[in-house]
Amino acid sequence: RKKTTINTLQSLYKKQEPITMITAHDFPSAHVADAAGMDMILVGDSLAMVALGMEDTSEVLLEEMILHCRSVARASKGAFTIGDLPMGSYEIAPEQALESAIRVVKEGRVQGIKLEGGMEMAPTIERIVRAGIPVVGHVGLTPQRQNTLGGFRVQGKTTLGALKVLEDAVAVQEAGAFAVVLEAVPAEVASLITQKLRIPTIGIGAGNGCSGQVLVQVDMSGNFPPGRFLPKFVKQYGDVWGESIKAIQNYKSEVKSRAYPAPEHTYPMPPEELIEFDK
Ligand code: KIV
Ligand code: NA
């Protein structure tokens, strides 16, 4: 598979062909996403929850993001791969953000970075882009700011709110981001914003009028125990948890009953050698 570049993504956008993006957090989850032909892989800071078992994304460290980026990058042969800047690694100043972005690209081996925020992040995005690192913006619901937003709430539901999301998306575009994630905004708002921008919008909980879509891989593949809460926008395309637990339970019961390992999984010893050994 040929490596997807920023030019490939541009031409998909020009053709109005939806851009496909999915998260990955390690070598196997990136390997399968790349083999399935995803245009983009995101090492999202959602790995704090789905790969590290943390409460929310605020806990994950830059060093941890870099480690996960490194393992994802080794499997991302075709997909254009982006790493999230985690909370605390970019808000202080553009120089701090640039330093973190350089580490994620240089040590994490990904092609670009994503950071959350709109107008207030414009100088930061500009600084990173000027250094030659592609940036994806992220506006609407920005999970790193859940404590300010009052939880995971849909953004832009009022005229004023929608204007704010639009202003943020435009600011991110003017700062030089090559794409912007729109998270949890009404479909009508996301569509209008997409029409007003000249960079692709990647929607998550933002309807089908965006230039592309992104989902968290463990959510869409059903790799979680039954009964877990899922946001409205997630479609579960598989039952990876169900397949895994069936396989592991079968393994367990075959070990307990000695059905496994069977002769075909076992190395035999030549009988004459065995006679000698048994003496
Ligand atoms: O961290 C993440 O997985 C993300 C996507 C949901 C956009 O930022
Ligand atoms: Na994220």
pLDDT tens digits along 156-187: 999 999 999 999 999 999 999 999 999 999 99
- Cα(159) to centroid of ligand 1, in Å? 25
Ligand nearest to the CA of 204: 1
Return the DSSP state at 245: H
Is ipTM strictly over 0.90?
yes
136-162 pLDDT, tens digit per residue, is 999 999 999 999 998 899 999 999 999
- Cα(138) to centroid of ligand 1, in Å? 9
Find out whether the beta carbon of 181 lies less than 6 Å from any atom of ligand 1: yes
List of the chain residues with pLDDT < 70: none
Ion ligand 2: residues, CB within 5 A, are: 44-45, 84
36-60 pLDDT, tens digit per residue, is 999 999 999 999 999 999 999 999 9
Residue 253, C-beta contacts closer than 8 angstroms, at least 6 positions apart: 259
Classified by CATH at the fold level, domain 6-238 comes out as TIM Barrel (3.20.20)
Of ligand 1's listed atoms, the one at least distance from the Cα of 214 is: 7
The whole-number pLDDT of residue 164 equals 98
Q: Assess whether 188 carries a catalytic annotation.
A: no
Nearest CA to ligand 1 atom 8: 44
The whole-number pLDDT of residue 119 equals 98
Compute the distance between CA of residue 62 and CA of residue 45 in angstroms, rounded to an integer: 10
Q: Domain locations in the chain?
A: 6-238, 243-278
Residue carrying structure tokens 């990876």: 240
The whole-number pLDDT of residue 150 equals 87
